[in-house]
Amino acid sequence: MKYLSQKKGFLGYEADSKIENKVIVVPFGLEKSVSYGGGTKDGPKEIIKASHQVELFDEDLNKETYKYIGIKTLKFFPIKKNLKAAINQLSMINKKISSSGKFPLVFGGEHSITPGSIEPFAKKYNKLTILHFDAHADLREKYKGEKFSHACAIKRCLDFKNVEVVSFGIRNISTNEMKFYNNNKGRIKIFWAKDKNKWSLNKISRIFLKKNVYITFDVDGFDSSIMPATGTPEPGGLFWNDVIPIIKTVCKNANVVGADINELAPIKDFNSYNFTVAKLAYKILSYAFEFKNSRSD
């Protein structure tokens, strides 16, 4: 695998040989099945660019967390043209990263990346729990004739029988998806956006306690007023201070093994949306590694 220079990679900090690199950022701008607005192929580039403006000191953890993590970013590379082949390509990349003891952080691209991204972990652990932020349930069996569509991402993850999903922010679901959810509540838990004022961090901590967790964050989980830069923006969504306590709670109680952030469709000259995603990525890494030392894989 070939890497960008530290200055050109995620966060753009000066190289320091004393920092052990524990994280590999994978830019994977897959865009094959978007169904409304396009542009997700440019997401990884703009997230990395915006990350160079992110303050490296974390006021919550009272440290420059990157110094305790170490992050390398893969050089941009050709993505397979066939959708299923591309998903398999990402699976092999994450397998290589996880086999070397590193933490993969994938920047999409559309949400169809996630089944490939989780595959190495679904095969490694007896049980894998997905922490899923999204406006949409993504539980369709097919969408427009394509079973690997972004609208089927979580359904494809559930093809692994040892995978369960806990979703936050859902506010757009079809009749067939609702039927599937109702028939599979043993494996799927949904925290509906409409009920967010009733969510309990204590309950969330119990759900994720001592589990192996993969985080997938579709940026349309955010309310469309703060995240219009996505193909399928939805009102009635999550805000920054809804999301961060959940991520922190999960990282405190679970073993977070990898993550992806997807569906950013950059809008020219509106860099605040790219910056929001870049900062979100840094917060996920910061919390995941802050609480990792007390646990082992």
Q: Is residue 11 part of a domain?
A: no
Domain-embedded: residue 4: no
Q: What is the β-pairing status of strands 103-108 and 212-218?
A: unpaired
Question: Please, what's the b/e burial string for 43-63 (b: 16 or more CB within 10 A of its CB; e: otherwise)?
Answer: bbebbbbbbeebeeebeeeee
Kindly report the backbone phi and psi dihedral angles of residue 133, in degrees, each rounded to the nearest multiple of 5, phi listed first. Answer: -105, 130
- Phi/psi at 284 (5° precision): -60, -50
Q: What is the pLDDT of residue 297?
A: 44
- With the CA atoms of 196, 194, 270 and 23 taken in that order, what torsion angle do they form, in degrees rounded to the nearest 10? 50
Contact 295, 211 (CB under 8 A): no
Q: Give the model's pLDDT for residue 34.
A: 54
Let me know if residue 280 belongs to a domain.
yes
Say if 200 falls within a structural domain.
Answer: yes
> Residue 38's pLDDT is what?
65
Tens digits of pLDDT across the chain (297 residues):
899 999 999 999 988 878 899 999 999 999 875 555 568 999 999 999 999 999 999 999 999 999 999 999 999 999 999 999 999 999 999 999 999 999 999 999 999 999 999 999 999 999 999 999 999 999 999 998 999 999 999 999 999 999 999 999 999 999 999 999 999 999 999 999 999 999 999 999 999 999 999 999 999 999 999 999 999 999 999 999 999 999 999 999 999 999 999 999 999 999 999 999 999 999 999 999 999 865 544
Compute the half-sphere exposure of residue 249: CA atoms within 13 Å on the CB side of its CA: 17
pLDDT in tens, 182-230: 999 999 999 999 999 999 999 999 999 999 999 999 999 999 999 999 9
Is 271 within the bounds of a domain? yes
Q: Considering the domain boundaries, does residue 12 fall inside one? A: no
- Domain with 139, as residue range(s), is 23-290
d(CA 237, CA 193): 6
Distance CA 217, CA 135 (A): 10
- Residue 160 host element (H or E): none
Count how many domains the chain has.
1
Q: For 39-70, write each residue's pLDDT tens digit.
A: 899 999 999 999 999 999 999 999 999 999 99
Give the CATH number of the domain where residue 78 resides: 3.40.800.10
Element (H, E) at 255: strand 255-262
Q: Is residue 223 part of a domain?
A: yes
Separation of alpha carbons 277 and 275, rounded Å: 5
**81 found inside a domain:** yes
196: number of Cβ within 10 Å: 17
